[in-house]
C-alpha cells in the first residue's frame, strides 16, 4: 500500500499523549482555581465579620472598670457556621502612671477563626474614651 497518505500509529499515539498532557494540566489548573476561590471566599467572609465586629465594639461604651476590658460580640451579626469571633482588649498606659490607669486608650483585637484553621484574620484598632 505504497503511496497511501495518512497518519502512522506512532504519530497518532504521540498526538494522543500530547492531548493527554494538555488535558491533565487543564484539569489540574481547574482544581487549583477552585481551591483558591474557596480560600479567598473564606478570607473575605472572615474580614467582613472582623470589620463588622470592630465597628460594633467601637460603638459600645468604654469599659474603664474591668481589667482586662470586656466587650460583647454583636448579637445581630449573622455568623456563618464554622466561624468564631473573639474580642480582646488591652489597656494601654502611654503616660506610664500605673497599670490600673489606661489613660483613655485601649487596644482592641478581633480574631476570626474558621473550623480547625486558627486566626483566619486578626484585626487590631484602638478605642478611646470620649
Closest to 46 in 3D by CA, of 89, 110, 90? 110
The predicted structure's pLDDT at residue 102: 72
pTM recorded for the entire structure: 0.72
The predicted structure's pLDDT at residue 112: 93
Q: Say if CB 89 and CB 67 are below 8 A apart.
A: no
Tell me the average confidence (pLDDT) per consecutive run of 10 residues in the chain, 130 residues long: 74 93 93 89 91 94 88 93 92 70 86 79 89
The predicted structure's pLDDT at residue 2: 66
The predicted structure's pLDDT at residue 92: 84
Instruction: Give 6-14 contacts, CB < 8 A, sequence gap 24+.
Output: none
Whole-angstrom distance, CA of residue 34 vs CA of residue 61? 43
DSSP for 57-90, written as a single string:
HHHSPP--SSSS------TT--PPTTEEEEEEEE
Amino acid at each position: 500500500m505504497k503511496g497511501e497518505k495518512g497518519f502512522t500509529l506512532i504519530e497518532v499515539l504521540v498526538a494522543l499523549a500530547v492531548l493527554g498532557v494538555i488535558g491533565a494540566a487543564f484539569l489540574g489548573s481547574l482544581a487549583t482555581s477552585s481551591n483558591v476561590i474557596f480560600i479567598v471566599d473564606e478570607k473575605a467572609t472572615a474580614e467582613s465579620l472582623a470589620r463588622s465586629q470592630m465597628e460594633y465594639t467601637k460603638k459600645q461604651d468604654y469599659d474603664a472598670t474591668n481589667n482586662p476590658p470586656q466587650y460583647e460580640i454583636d448579637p445581630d451579626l449573622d455568623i456563618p457556621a464554622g466561624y468564631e469571633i473573639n474580642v480582646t482588649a488591652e489597656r494601654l498606659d502611654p503616660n506610664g502612671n500605673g497599670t490600673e490607669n489606661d489613660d483613655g486608650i485601649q487596644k482592641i483585637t478581633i480574631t476570626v477563626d474558621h473550623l480547625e484553621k486558627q486566626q483566619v484574620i486578626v484585626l487590631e484598632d484602638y478605642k478611646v474614651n470620649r
